[in-house]
Structure 1
């Protein structure tokens, strides 16, 4: 098993995408990258902690590789906007990849270099994985538990459509 921590906007959205991918064992919403020694939803949203909303993706590298995980990540969020994903604005929505395995760094950097060579102005930060703080229980698997929630109905279906259209063979 491998893991990677990703920030591509609201964790409800990113979580929903990766829960649908073959080879993904678990997705946990949380917070990472801040200066405070703890994190919770209220303090992260206030900007006081400097944490970002993230998902920790645990995946079976025999089923899906990091390159495919990153392809999905970049296709289902906007890596060109600083501290913003659609209507979500704030430092907690920065595009970030946190890695814990040094062997993954060249794969991540190559993926970003390829996007930049294609004319995409990627602002995604790449950082060594910091402490991960699991988000409150009500954030876990949020869309599945709250399918009629207004924000989710607006933001998540387009991401799932992109996932299905571009990565149909990788869906569970």
Structure 2
């Protein structure tokens, strides 16, 4: 099941969308699918968000001049997995302390960001981020929390890339850290 760009297809009743950037999108998609398939994840796709140009290509985004981030957009069932749980996983699976960088991948396209879709998501993102700063990543984080703008799906060959190419590149900073549960 696939839900197109903003407004192109209706979400299933009760479903929500979450959009995050955490470096190279191949590994981000792979980790979210492994963790949440069958546990509330209805769809996931990689793409570009946060930039200035229309219909960006991977080549253009890789230059760092479009302003877009490589990102993951998921459609999820909040009855099975909460937005808060997705964001906690996001902060565990990448290094949010380095601006415009994940491991050897450097540039604004690899930034850490949460792109919220409504006021409730903004509130939850700010709350989780404040707790993460105090309890997990105490040296500080560089994650942007910004409104979701226009989303552009990445080219077809990027979707499910690590499933199709099991020995393909995966950023070494993408692994699940073991942190204690955040305080309520």
Q: Per the shorter chain, which TM-score range?
A: 0.7 to 0.9
The counterpart of 1:6, out of the listed 17, 20, 29, is 20
The Cα of 1:120 is off from its aligned counterpart by: 4.1
Distance in 2, Cα, partners of 1:5 & 1:104: 10
SS of alignment partner, residue 53 of structure 2: coil
TM-score (norm 1): 0.88
Contact kept, 8 Å, 1:13 with 1:155, in 2: the verdict is no
The counterpart of 2:150, out of the listed 107, 131, 153, is 131
SS of alignment partner, residue 163 of structure 2: helix
What is the aligned length?
Answer: 161
Superposition map of 1:10-159 within 5 A: 10-20=24-34, 21=36, 22-118=39-135, 119-149=138-168, 151-152=169-170, 155=172, 159=175
The Cα of 1:144 is off from its aligned counterpart by: 0.3
Contact kept, 8 Å, 1:32 with 1:131, in 2: the verdict is yes
Distance in 2, Cα, partners of 1:49 & 1:28: 20
1:170 maps to none
Runs of 5+ unmatched residues, structure 2: 1-14, 180-184
SS of alignment partner, residue 140 of structure 2: coil
1:169 maps to none
Name whichever structure is richer in helix by fraction: 1
Deviations 1:36-92 (A, max 9, x none): 122110000011211010010111000000111011000000111100001111110
Contact kept, 8 Å, 2:91 with 2:132, in 1: the verdict is no
Query: What is the RMSD computed on CA atoms of the aligned residues?
Result: 1.8
TM-score (norm 2): 0.82
Runs of 5+ unmatched residues, structure 1: 167-172
